[in-house]
Structure 1
């Protein structure tokens, strides 16, 4: 009886303390208000308790680092929807401070998630029950005024309902999953999951490993229906975005897809894609084929073995902490002497390789070395007679190949810098015929172009295997990487991305065209690399990036005083005069803008990106196209509406660019009530009111020369006039700029001064493309 009384007392106390604890647990906030801070001792929990935002730490390259993460309260503990960059181990916290969302470290270092140069009032940061962490400006009643930043725009390795894969055409924002480097290191790894061409694609460092197959009737070809039957897929394809997302029919059951460090796509604990079983020769379950090393015949696989090593020394190592296990596999597969591999460092990074497996003794013990062995698996045993037959065929093939090489060597003019396993693709590509048509490149196939062809191995080594540290940025063509050749020369590598609107025509156009052009104000093309589906252009490295990198940044723009800006204007004009008048080919650039102007170490401008250029015959004045390419805002009306272009098209673009250089503002950065007022319209209004100097960038207020600036604005307005015939040529324009004694005509009201939209265009939309990522480029007739 006494025992029962004690049990009742215990239950009473338990209920009493749980009643005290429950209200306290419900008080965990989901929002940071201005001045609030989230520290390593606190957390945010979404209103229904589905997701949590908190700090965690990991050992990163032999030092402790802290990350801010969003994780599901019901899923695996190390599955993160979003993860910040690494900070030092002594993190003070996440603060909503004066309209900015900032992660602050004890050492004073800051990681800014969002900040604005414009006044921003009443901001809150809230963790939603969807798992999305949003930083928003709200009205006094708490309703959303505008979302300033959200974690769903920066996914980690996990996709949940409402999160998107794809691209935002308006902002250039791409949505994709990125695997971790290893299972315990939450930093970007080699695999990405993307939405492309109505299907899911997994890449390892830009090489396509797996495709889901096209989505039809809510079903992917290469994903089991049992894994997707509970989902509803949402596909958006319009001028604003191309995206994929899903909703789950069971709202009470959390649904998440995770891209693992080995390239597998998991739905919960089930595999939707086994990318680690893609070897480059098989097409099972959506695997894609790629160029195998000459020594890896179809049929080889990788087997995991636990072994004792009689001699524990590896044949060679790569102590690179940016390489994970899957990178070691790729390196071993590409090396004909490699027989086995594993990771090298304690955090499962770096690689060690063996050229023989004779030192391995298999074992089942858990603490033994975990080694991956490359195992060839021939389909059948060859008899001695079959072997001799293959030897005879091989001998004949070798003699024929040797004779073909002798015949070809005396004809080739392409310079091969290093290796020859992958340059045949490049030589064949360059020697193919391109007629004088829409792309405008003449080539009679009688001569190869004098273009250097770099081997894929050379470029891979030069860019450190296209590492994140080597990446300079992302353009309409694709990612751009910095590299260094064995000669010590620094290079910039433009790598054609499958997400790019630009394609083979633009690639070949730029490659062959720019190889024929030489001018101090044009970027210098060093060569190309063509390997399987890879397309890369190799340029001289420009240490100061592009003009827009400086011009539109409030701090960096201070480095461009008026003298530098005027020199840049002159340099661009000189380059354009060369293209229009003095080069061997009369070239219309068609995409002249700040992001396509590169700056060398002395801030001298160099025009780049000739993928959309057209060649004119010397007596040709204008041409018409049904494929509009370029960037809205820089296009003259006759081109945007009717497809008519000429050298005056570039003059218009130059006029807009010159206004941007003077003002430090983008052409599309103005809004006035319901009327879209672009930079051209703003400059015109100021000019009419004799307030031209109000246009000048405040950061150059102490350095500009008033008469020179006003002359630039005046000439710019002449360049952007409605009728092409009224615009000056580039050479006349430069004379107006530099010769102050020249009497300037009065400008007329410019084209698109109110940001009007083209009306009544009949150009087909079936060739619509988006050609740049940093600005909105169009080929349809509905500018945004």
Structure 2
């Protein structure tokens, strides 16, 4: 008891010391400055205040940074005055301001509070807000949220705070220069609330007005996006938005980049993974006023700009050249204008309705009525000569325009209805056009029906004489559908609706398939990068005449992947069957395929362990979707690094479904007499006997997992004495208790060694020789995430020796799916 009493003073001193350390973690005082080598961390450890250097520069800045591996800078103090040495310091000056000093003790930045007090300190809050506080009463004297840079985080205000205080984001000048750039983001105080991006002082993008729930000019803001923003107004003139989205697992924030694009980003606290969930500029049509006054922009059309009905280009020559900024002018005078110019009444004007559009800018908003109905809006507009258009939106009410209509965009969903006032003659023209269109459609259908009937009769008559002739592409397509390898019941495997691209469109997008746009070559043929007229980037997979894969694989991929939707599967945008061409159009993956990073001596260092974990788990989730979670049960049969594509955030997407097979609901295994795939990734029962199942995909996944962990190719030799494949080398090291030698030197971090070895263990379980011994994908993911804590010992894998030189080298050089072997399946008695 006496000893315990002696310890009490020590415990008290230790508690005081810990308290001081805790304060020092997130607080700066005049006696405890932050030097260049130090870091201030918020209590929740979600944000840190530190010195940093942007890419490609040695200049030093003080910034608030997301304290996760993504390391996004959300605020910069001395953005226009960098420190050129490493002796900088953030401290509290004698007058109580927060200041940044360089090595010569010159003040480069100050909080510049006029009514500062000497007894103050700076604290980094859990929200990411750096505040200067009066220690005597706790009053906040200054905060970084009042002077943001390019990032909007939760609880930050954006808009008009007071008569002389407007808070806006301002972009960096470039990714390596955080000084004030050309673009700013905020709320226009002279209009009903909506977000704008300005290029200098000119509008560059706008969100459309706020209806109390969403911005109606952003079609993606469906119910899932509700309540991410709150509008605050008060009688003193304040009108600002705060971002209120809360998720304990992730931080959602908005960044205005140096190119003027606002991006919604999500960073996950658990693993530091970040992704871009939405961007303001998805096409040229999102640029403010792309089509000029009275022009409408549609990114799905070519050209993207058209004049509104009743209007024509002001300058036809410029318009035809693609310069649409001059806009359009009215063809026929409105009634009020006719009365003035011709002194005659004439027939009354009417309204043309444009559905699902982004309503025009409110630069010329005439009046706003919240209590009226949509019919009241129309009547009031018609009785007012200065009203040229109106719209009605729940939560806003009636909106009127009195001058040019600018920044109109056609949406495919979630748009508003705009009613444009036109002369009576234009209304009649529209009715006549409807009749003409209806008649044309009927006559066209009759012509097509007669043509099809005559063509069928002709084909029937000549079929017996041309049995050996090569099928035209259309007939080959139909024949492939009848012989579809996707199902034993061809009638159940119909081509779903998929956009068809013309050859000309793809030729323009790829610069006539120029070599400079070639991304690579697979077993299917070459793949080209393309940019559509709308600005959308695409990847075009073109079937070559010399390809080992043909129309069956083409149709297989078209019919199968068009039914699949998963974040870890590449998205098929459409196809082209024209001029004897067969092409598939995919979403463009800017970081190409996994092998381009994994086996590159420099790029492999970008794949740190957490990133590789995410790639492995992403591939596993995609495979689980194919095997269990989609309405189809699909065996991929060609899983390998070159078929794993990486998006801009290095997230994996499984691609190339040309060799995939569809299973029936109760089917677990199938045989084939045509073995297709890539050497080194095929399970032994498939390569030798043509048997494939979920477990053959698991084998390929295991090989891929070992390659990702080791950074080595399975098809290369990895042991000078025994000439072992990667699997054999991993098995040898495992039995010698030296599995750590397998790990890529780029992952040298003792803190994650045990976790990496667990992944090696799971990889060896996946490549066991017997399919029955291998876990399914669901169990694999549970093992990787330690949901299954105890792992069974792995048994002897297949292919422990190196593949034959011809096989190994062939696969290594090309990476194509070139194996195509015919087998006679012998059934056991």
TM range (shorter): 0.3 to 0.5
Which structure has the larger Rg over C-alpha atoms?
2
Per the normalisation by structure 1, the TM-score is: 0.43
Per the normalisation by structure 2, the TM-score is: 0.41
